Each structure stands twice: as C-alpha cells, then as structure tokens.
Structure 1
C-alpha cells in the first residue's frame, strides 16, 4: 500500500489501521515503521536487479526527462522514465519504468543535467548506445543537455508542448479574444473564491436534478496546464445559464456576465481549439504507439480546421464590431502549414508513420519527406543486410562439406540454396528493399489495430523490416510520462511527508511504476 497507493510509512502505526488489521487478520503482526522501511529497501534492490538485467539486453530504449520543483521544500528534481518493448516478444504494450527522481544540487545548466542523466543511466546499467530517443520539453537547457549526450538525431521536443504553445500564441495574437477569455477567467476566479456563489451554484444544480456526485464545477485556466484554457471555456459554456442566474441573484459582485456576442465568440473559439485538445490527449499515450500518430493527426487537424475555420471566424465577425478574428486566424493558418511541414521533416515521426501498418504513406503531404523516410528505412535495412551477409556466407561454407554428394553433380548448388537464410533482397543496387516495397504496397489495416501486434504477426514475412518497426513504434511522442511522474511525486511528498529524502522518493516511485504482474508474481 505504501508503494502502490502512496500511503505514508507510518500507516502501520495508525490506530485506525491497526484496528482494521486486527479485525481482518487477528493473528497478523503489523511491521513497525522501521521494519516497513527496511522491507521497501529490500524489495527495491530485488526489483532493481531484475530490471537492470532486462535493461542490459535492450537494443532500443526511449527516455523522457523533465525538471520539477517540490512546493514544500523548494527542492528541484530531475525525473527520468524509460520506455521499451521487452525482448521476450510476447508483450504488445510499451513497458515503462521510473528510474529516477534525482535531487538537483547545482544550477540547472545543460552540462549539469547531462552529467546527472549519464550517471542515472550508468546506475541502471543502461548503455547510452541503446537510447534510440530522448523526449524533453522545449526548454533550452533540457534540449542542450539531450543533444550533448545523445546528439540532435536522437532528441525530439515534446509535441504536446508545441501544440499547446500554438493556443497561447493564437490567443495572444488577438487582444480582443484575449480580453473575453480574461473576463471568463475573472468570473471563474470569483466562483472559486466565493463560498456564497459556489453554494448557490450547487443548489441550483441539485434543483435541476443533479446528484451530489454529478455536480459540475468551473475549471480555472492555468498557464502551465495543457488544455486548461479550452476546458475552462467548455465548462463555462456548459454552466452559462447557471452562472448568469447566480451573478444576477448576488447583485454587486463586480463581475458582469458575458454578453450574447461574447458568449458566441467563446463557443466558436471552443470549436477551433477542440482539435488541439483531442490531439494532445491522443498523443499523450504511454503504453501504446504515439510517434506514428503525429503526422496523421496534424494532417487531420489541418483538414478539420479548413472545414470549420472560415465559418467559425465569419460567424464571430458578424457578431462583434471588434476585428479580433483576423490576427488569430492568420496565426492559426500559418501554423497549419508550418507545423505540418515541420513534423514531416522529423525523421522519427516520418519513419514511425511509414512503418505503422495503419498509416504507411496515407497522410504525407510532401512527396519529398515521404521519399526521404523511405530512403532512411532502406539504408537501415541495407546496413542490417551487410551485417548479416558475412555471417550467412560463413554458415554456408561450414555446411557445404558435410552436404556434398560426389555422385550428384548439382549437390553443391542444392546445398547452397538450402543453407542460405532468407534475407531481404533489392530490386537493383541502391533500390528499395523488396520487404519494404511489398509492405508499402499491401493495404493498410484497421485504425483500431494495435500496430505492434500487427508487426509481430508480420515478423515472419518481413523479418528485417519488423525489427526496425519495433524500434520506432515503441517510442513516445511527448514528455507526459515524466510529468505524470511528478504528479505522483506530488502525491507522495505532502505536508505530512515533507522530510522524505530524494532517494526514498525515487525508490517509492520506481516500485509504484511496476506492473501488477511483476509486483505480485
């Protein structure tokens, strides 16, 4: 419970818990806090050895990193998570582990962060050569640290940060729209701070048939929280009639309800921001493939925005004299083209999309970037082929002498054919490997299909291509796992547990990240 449910180490000494255990299992003797701590240390060392042995065999690992400052003590930590497909070949979900919440004792320079990352990887027996990708936010120090350790080719910025930065920039480009949003934020703040307004809101919802467990609350916009602006506006519109009634009932609150035109503006802004909200949710997956979805989602968002963009802004323009819509429209329209071109240039996204049986070449807008992705994959397959061919020739020579029949003229030829392993060939020197060409020419599978499961099914048919596919489909597109790590850390380090050391927090988070199958088997 301490590791899985974030209960304090002193739980076994709480009077209520003692009574519960005595009633449930009378003969069981509860361990004291000291014994419980020792048990956690033992469990941690046991599972760490198992994980280190597994990490040592991995050929492809993705890291996510982020920095968090704990509110109670103002101590900063570097969080590191690892993501990989196990070599056992039986798991169709991406495995994850929290390998570190490292206290930072120096200025957060790129050199210091790079040093901490290298030390953490060494401590867990993870070779830097096995790191296929590192995902961070777009902070200059994190980007520089990642590129110092792994190079620019093995680093990408979090696509979630990029998407939500677009929202901030689009709103900032339209002062009038920003004014309306600030007005909504002011009303939400009033309801959050006023007990009377909050109570009236609850009573009105109960009168309208809501139950205690289904009452809706207003959501506040927080700059550092993704999609909170969209969620604030969406909830505000859902409760607009109730908010208006409460403000009218309370009288002099210093907050005026939005006018009809302003409310119409918020509704249309919601339509424009909804695709970004949905995209962020889709790309924040941790157990399933996300990098291969970036290009398709950006393409789909562009089509959705083209379908709704003009009507939305014309609708807004007809209902307000303020020409706020055109700056925001220009900003979002420029983003549509620019971002789509940029994501296709990121080889991690383009290769992942190309090798995903659900997408392949469907959503590429640029023939050049599609061609470059095919060339990248071809080069990797040829490199693998060059490595395997000498081994195949040695194997053939070893088996020839044992299989030659002096009475059969063609026995040598037959022995070579029988001993030569099936390896991907090429149409011509410098051409596309046959495996890749055949894979791209077959129909795509259903969108709901797990691409990793499908690649395992096709492994016999495409042995060389599947190895590259497993590498890229096991990567994650955002640094959300590292941010989730800090959310969990915040649940552990509370006012009652603010004396926990960084090492203890790291152990609890690692044990808490283990799957139930591993923990209880």
Structure 2
C-alpha cells in the first residue's frame, strides 16, 4: 500500500503536490524537518519523494492539465479575456492573462492562461507580442474573443487594440475608479487633513519601530 507505485502512496503524493500548488508552498517543503516528522508519524512506511522528483511530477501534471484546458478552450464558441501588467517589490514585471466563458451549465467560468515575466520596456508592441504568445500557447482564437478588458494605460490599450480592434477593447471599471477616488479626495479639505495626519503617524511609526523593539 505505502510502497512506491501503490494506491495509497500515489494518493499521498498527489495530496502533497496539491498542497504545494494550492497553498503556494516552496518545493523544499518535502525536505523540511517538521514535514518529515509529520509524515513519519502519520504514514511511517511512506517514502517522501525528493524535491527534484516533486518538481518533475508537478511539471508533468501541469502539462497534462494544460493540454486538457486547451481542448476545452478549442470547443468554446466565444470568450472574453482580461489582462494586466504589474511590478512586484523586486522590480520584476509580469503580464497576467485570464479567460472567461459561459459553461455548459450556463454559469460563468474562468481560467488563468498565464503569468509571464516581462524583461523589456513595456512598449505596446512588446505587450502585444507577449499577449499573443499566451493566446497562441492556449490556442485562443482571436476571432472568438468578444472583448479584452485592460486598464486604460496607453501601452496596454494600444496592444489590445492592435490585437482585437478598438471595438473589443474595454477599460477596467475598477482601474477607472482607482484614479477617480484620489482626485475626488483632493477636493475635500477635511479628507486631505485626515490623510495628512495618517501619513505622519505611519511615517513616525516606521522610523520608531527599531527603537520600540530595543525597549
């Protein structure tokens, strides 16, 4: 049962892979002392796969699920896409793309097509090529794309228009609101005073945190 290739061992391995993927845990989890202790207590005869083995298995599982999703996308008659690019705290930029469609049960469904690292200036041509790469990878037919939702930045907007045309490029309502709110607050004096006070408090706390720790 717990030997390699056994049903129970396979179920445990799949559960470990699922946990790592869904909880966004590092692959080194299988090498952690406390994890090994847990597995030794709950399933002492089970052999924990190495980090390298788990990596290979997760990649193989991803390719299998990706193939299945490609087939699903191919069968769809229409869909919409959303795309957004952002930069993390390490200054690494990404382009995220999702697909939305109506399932056979008449319920809205969605899927993540990819999060691509961006290593060049975010020109409209570069973003267009990156977006097209994701679409081609999942066999997304541009003729079936009813709309692409993005923010209103000139570069991404131009990239989307180049890809599907201006009549199918839609601005993200949340992004529009995010720009309207700061502008609206600037016209309310009481709000400006509160924001200024909060900023001063935050700045004071950040500068004083080391002092408080010493005390």
Bin of the TM-score, shorter chain as denominator length: 0.7 to 0.9
Alpha-carbon distance change, 161 to 51 in structure 1, aligned in 2, over 3 angstroms: same
* From 32, 39, 46, the counterpart of 2:64: 46
* From 99, 117, 120, the counterpart of 1:82: 99
Aligned counterpart, 1:11: 29
Alpha-carbon distance change, 32 to 91 in structure 1, aligned in 2, over 3 angstroms: farther
Report the Cα offset of residue 184 of structure 1. 2.7
Q: Could you list the runs of 5+ residues in structure 1 that have no partner in the other structure?
A: 200-521
Aligned residue for 1:3, secondary structure, equals helix
CA distance in 2, matches of 1:91, 1:192: 50
* From 39, 43, 60, the counterpart of 1:25: 43
Report the Cα offset of residue 174 of structure 1. 4.5
* From 87, 108, 114, the counterpart of 1:69: 87
Q: Is 1:148 aligned with 2:166?
A: no
* From 116, 121, 139, the counterpart of 1:107: 121
TM-score (norm 2): 0.82
Aligned residues: 195
Matches within 5 A, 1:31-430: 31-72=49-90, 74-86=91-103, 89-90=104-105, 92=107, 94-174=108-188, 177-191=191-205, 194-195=208-209
Aligned counterpart, 1:435: none
Alpha-carbon distance change, 186 to 38 in structure 1, aligned in 2, over 3 angstroms: same
> Residues 191 and 198 of structure 1 are in contact (CA less than 8 Å); yes or no, is this contact kept in structure 2?
no
Per-residue deviation, residues 147-205 of structure 1 (Å, max 9, x unmatched): 11111111111111112222111122346642342123222443455459999xxxxxx
Q: Which has the higher contact order (CA 8 A, sep 6+)?
A: 1
More deviation, 149-158/96-105: 96-105
CA distance in 1, matches of 2:77, 2:211: 58
Alpha-carbon distance change, 17 to 102 in structure 1, aligned in 2, over 3 angstroms: same
> Residues 191 and 197 of structure 1 are in contact (CA less than 8 Å); yes or no, is this contact kept in structure 2?
no
Aligned counterpart, 2:4: none
CA distance in 2, matches of 1:115, 1:195: 45
Report the Cα offset of residue 7 of structure 1. 0.7
Mark the structure with the bigger radius of gyration. 1
Aligned residue for 2:21, secondary structure, equals coil
TM-score (norm 1): 0.35
Alpha-carbon distance change, 196 to 49 in structure 1, aligned in 2, over 3 angstroms: closer
CA distance in 2, matches of 1:198, 1:61: 54
Report the Cα offset of residue 54 of structure 1. 0.3
